[in-house]
Chains A and B, each alone.
Chain A
Amino acid sequence: MAKPKVAFYWCASCGGCEEAVVDLAENILKVVEAVEFVLWPVAMDFKIKDVEALQDGEIAVSFINGSIRTREQEHIAKLLRKKSGLVVAFGACAHIGGTPGLANFSNREIIFDYVYQKSPSLDNPNKIFPQEKTTVKEGELTLPKFYNTVFTLDQVIDVDYYLPGCAPPPDLIMNAVEAILTGNLPPKGTVLAPDKSLCDTCKRKITKPEKAVIKQFRRVHEVLLDPEKCFLDQGIICLGPATRDGCGERCINANMPCRGCFGSTSRVEDQGAKFLSALASIIDADSEEEIKKITDSIADPAGIFYFYSLPASMLRRKFRTEL
């Protein structure tokens, strides 16, 4: 029996998801034994034209990580969609946009202006900007278009499953691979992690008081973090209540609050907005003055609440701003 063909591709990504595959440790041998890679730029020498040569649907499953920032990434994503039976959005960037998604608070013009003109460490006296087409004496060079907006994978192609996390934990990856190989898959569109918020399995849940109240917000460098108490009770912003379970609370167990990389549960459309609602509701103040004082103390609410999920949020990006 021929081994199922598998592709692993990275878009606007940091390489951490590739590392996650390596983190499978001994299990990676099981995977390598069971499948045949047809594309894995970081590790193998297959070319795009090799993929183009395949039949439609010939690839059993493509794991695509990273968000979509350039035309090339969109192009490859579409190519892999065409050639694959299943497409899995691998990791937070593909799933909900990831940290590259924070660029949606800006736009191409502003980014290029800073990177190619204003950055203090720059040496670009002729103000050269990357162009999509450049003519040199040898011919024409092309660069993929840099989009104005960062997209999630499912905003450019049809996605079958999502493996959440920055990066997805090894056990979740193994479960997903096994499910695919055995054909034991949930309905299309499922995120392959439990559909509850992570407070469900968090060790600190037991310390939560009946009435949650926050009198003052603190940042992690401002206080000695109690390794056992719920972060919210310490006045530290932790996105746990608004974040899907499945990561084993790796960050929390390392005494750092959750930053929401698994995205929201399936019942919430906008993770940042819902978290804002929960957090604001438990602020311990009733007068406008007191409330404002406390809310003003959060320097960058959008950046914290949408740290991973901005492109997947309802607004997706900031409204138009001039330079």
Chain B
Amino acid sequence: MKVRVGVYICSCGTNISDNIEIDQLVQFSSSLENVGYVKLNSLLCSEDGKNYLAEDIIKEKPDRVVIVACTPKEHEKTFRNVLQRAGLNPYLFQMVNIREQVAWVTDDKNKATEKAKSYIRAAVKRVTLHEPLEKKEIDCNPDALVIGAGPAGMEAAHMLAKAGRKVYLVEKNSFIGGRVARYEDVFPKMECASCMLEPKMDEILHDENIELLLNSEIQEVLGFLGNFVVRINKKAGFVDNEKCIGCGACYEQCPVKVKNEFDYNLSDRKAIYVPYTGALPNVPVIDKKTCLRFEGQNTGPQKEAFEAGLITREEYERFKNQDCKLCKEACMFDAINYEDTDEILERNVGGIIAATGFELFDPSVLPQYGYGKIPEVYTSLEFERILAQTGPTGGKLLTKNAKEPESVAIIHCIGSRDKDYKDYCSSVCCLYALKFAHMIEKHSPEVKVYDIYADWCVPGKDNQAFLDSIKEWKNIEFIHTTLPMNVVSKMKGEKIDLHCIDISEKKRKVSADMVVLCPAMIPGKDTAKLSELLLIPQGREGFFAEGHTKLAPVSTNIEGVFIAGCAQGPKDIQNSVAQGAAAAGQALSILVPGRKLELDVMTAEIDEKVCAECMICVGLCPYKAIVIDKEKRVAVVNTVLCKGCGTCVAACPSGSAKSWHFTTEQIFAEIEEVLK
């Protein structure tokens, strides 16, 4: 059956007809094979033009339509809608650009006309090979999974829950709040961090839509946008969240003493413990590694504690071969269950938000600072704990020997802005350095603070004023150095001498009792593992790669997987919260309850009858849209994820992949006709 093509030529007012012989085009088009009719119009994109087009198509009933006019980038969608209205499949249509790419750029009218003719010939041939494409829809699950219960994750979870979505908030620790739980005050308003977080944490703990999974990690992620299945490894905590009232009787009785990681080993904890006073939820956990009922039976931890002088030899001897039940016996609410086991939970969600935060660059690789060798050299996170009321010193500024320091030095840019280590600026260190100076002054105004900096990074509405106010203070001396890398710490008696060169190239030496380093923020330890599980790439310096630096900061290559907070790049709490909200917004926008997901139409497809599973295509897809069907032993394109770039189709060596609307036959036809 012959395919009948209707050709509509638009003169675009006089834009096209000024530079091209339109009558020749009409005559030429009529002479082409398959062309049923040719109609001329002066402005097809106008309301009148569009109405005319729709009516004419209904009347003429062509099998295909070619519109010869401006660039498809301007009006292809417009005309596709008209076709849809007129009852013709919108993909049985080809547009010919004779305005932007012919009439407006060719000085010779004859040459322009010839060029236009060859384009029309190509389009008519191509359109006879078009197939009607129908829009596809699939169901989607509107619920979400958030990984990480820091400020970004909590904001995302909260927003989603308020919108009525079920949220699974997965947190690897036994408490929520992320890094901020460790801070006493936050810049620039010097507000109390825990007071600031309280209300949000309260919402998280009590919202019915949020299932909080603590001590949990992601084990496997299957599926795709709207249809993810996530397997979560929830580790045993041994304490029943419902029964526990947070009285602390259990950990009072525990005989074990080990270093507390929450305080960066600056304080001790028990084997059953809460990491800090006020941790939320206020439910302790048993640490299997140190508890005497589990791996703690191995006297390793107890031996360390004994050698560190934390317990007596008598106590140490007592630890061997114990059936210790002290915590359970102390609990009046029967909340402790030694039979608790790890479990694998499975949850179905439509979207995933990764907000897994940061950790600090390890300054021990830079020996000049003395970190790890000189006892009173601290990282900023360690210093946060010293200043915190819930920390090892109850918030008092004290050295490890419980002495009050006379002076504290703060060094910026540790491992930062350096090609050999981390070449970026972590954006918050200058500000928390000022925060530290502020807090030191508050505790003890006589303490001298040396702030060794390279440049000031204080963007935003409030931060410059914060800096300016502190610059006035008498007890702070700012030393401007060009290269923090050159600062050297040397022990001199009980003090630490810091040698540096300031910007006037003068050698400086200051003496301090404590040194605080501001190291670069680097992606959290599990970022690489999560990157593999979620199939999102790690970008610059190992942070999760966003979809686009400017336009898609919280999306990723993988549809339905979003990122937020410091996992995406170093930032302050304000921006983390903003990204958490943005990621939630993205998820809310794409996954609407009751609404189906509309899929791209011009996708790739692999013919399973002929695919030989040669695997060339699988690794080429940037969206991970091609998977191997292990039963059928063929490659399959997931049309939910496919964006239609055609890379796999070009690469397929057996011709088993096809690109809808850009098939090889269609392009061959265009090439052959355009050269005739």
Contacts and interface: CB of A to CB of B under 8 A. Distances in A.
Contacts of B401: none
A47 interface: no
Nearest to B648: A281
B653 A197 contact: yes
Contact of A212 (B611, B615, B647, B655): B615
A197 B654 contact: yes
State the majority secondary structure of interface residues on A: loop
State the majority secondary structure of interface residues on B: loop
Nearest to A205: B613
Contact of A240 (B614, B633, B656): B614
B374 interface: no
Interface stretch (A28-36, A73-81, A177-185, A272-280): A272-280
A199 B620 contact: no
A277 B619 contact: no
Interface string B597-626: 000000000000011111110111000000
Nearest to B657: A267
A103 interface: no
A267 B654 contact: yes
B650 A281 contact: yes
A264 B647 contact: no
B324 interface: no
Contacts of B612: 196-200, 241, 245
A200 B611 CA distance: 8
Given A195-B610, A265-B610, A267-B610, A278 B616 contact: yes
A203 to B, nearest CB: 13
Contacts of A266: 655
A269 B612 CA distance: 18
A282 B610 contact: no
A240 B651 CA distance: 14
B619 A210 contact: yes
B627 to A, nearest CB: 9
A245 B612 CA distance: 9
B654 A265 contact: yes
B619 A282 contact: yes
B650 A211 contact: no
Interface in A197-249: 197-200, 205, 208-213, 240-242, 245
A212 B619 CA distance: 6
Given A196-B654, A267-B656, A282 B620 contact: yes
Nearest to A284: B619
A245 B656 CA distance: 14
Contact of A199 (B613, B651, B655, B668): B613
A268 interface: yes
Given A197-B612, A200-B613, A267-B610, A242 B618 contact: no
B653 A275 contact: yes
Given A195-B610, A265-B610, A267-B610, A278 B652 contact: yes
A61 to B, nearest CB: 28
A264 B655 contact: yes
Nearest to A240: B614
B610 A196 contact: yes
Contact of B615 (A195, A196, A208, A264): A208
Contacts of A212: 615-616, 618-619
Contacts of A200: 612-613, 633
Contacts of A281: 616, 620, 647, 650-651
Contacts of A242: 653-654
Contacts of B654: 196-197, 241-242, 264-265, 267-268, 274
A261 to B, nearest CB: 15
Interface in B203-251: none
A281 B610 CA distance: 21
A210 B613 CA distance: 11
Given A265-B654, A268-B655, A282 B618 contact: no
A47 B460 CA distance: 97
B610 A277 contact: no
B613 A278 contact: no
Given A197-B653, A277-B653, A281-B651, A210 B615 contact: yes
Given A210-B618, A281-B616, A241 B653 contact: yes
Contacts of B653: 197, 241-242, 268, 274-275, 277-278
B616 A211 contact: no
Nearest to A199: B614
A199 B611 CA distance: 9
Contacts of B615: 199, 205, 208-210, 212
A240 B654 CA distance: 10
A212 B656 CA distance: 18
Interface string B629-645: 00001000000000000
A268 B652 CA distance: 10
Contact of A241 (B614, B620, B650): B614
Q: Which interface residue of B615, B647, B653 has the most chain A CB atoms within 10 A?
A: B653
Q: Which interface residue of A208, A241, A268, A282 has the most chain B CB atoms within 10 A?
A: A241
Contact of B616 (A195, A241, A245, A265): A241
Contacts of B655: 264-268, 274
A281 B621 CA distance: 11
A319 to B, nearest CB: 16
Nearest to B652: A278
Q: Which interface residue of B647, B652, B668 has the most chain A CB atoms within 10 A?
A: B652
Contacts of A240: 614
Nearest to B612: A200
Contacts of A208: 614-615
Contacts of A277: 650-651, 653
A8 B457 CA distance: 86
B533 to A, nearest CB: 15
A32 B50 CA distance: 73
Contacts of B610: 195-196, 265, 267
Contacts of B647: 281
B619 A213 contact: yes
A304 to B, nearest CB: 14
A209 B616 CA distance: 10
Interface string A7-21: 000000000000000
Contact of B651 (A198, A205, A269, A278): A278
Q: Which interface residue of B610, B612, B654 has the most chain A CB atoms within 10 A?
A: B654
A282 B616 CA distance: 7
A205 B647 CA distance: 22
A77 to B, nearest CB: 28
A302 to B, nearest CB: 17
A213 B614 CA distance: 13
Contacts of B616: 212, 241, 278, 281-282
A255 B652 CA distance: 24
Instruction: Across the A-B interface, give the 4 residue pairs with the lowest CB-CB distance, nearest first.
Output: A267-B655, A211-B619, A200-B612, A242-B653
Given A199-B614, A274-B653, 5 more contacts: A196-B612, A197-B656, A205-B614, A205-B615, A211-B619
Interface of A: 195-200, 205, 208-213, 240-242, 245, 264-269, 274-275, 277-278, 281-282
17 contacts: A196-B612, A197-B654, A208-B615, A212-B616, A212-B618, A241-B614, A241-B616, A264-B654, A265-B610, A268-B654, A269-B668, A274-B654, A278-B614, A281-B620, A281-B651, A282-B616, A282-B620
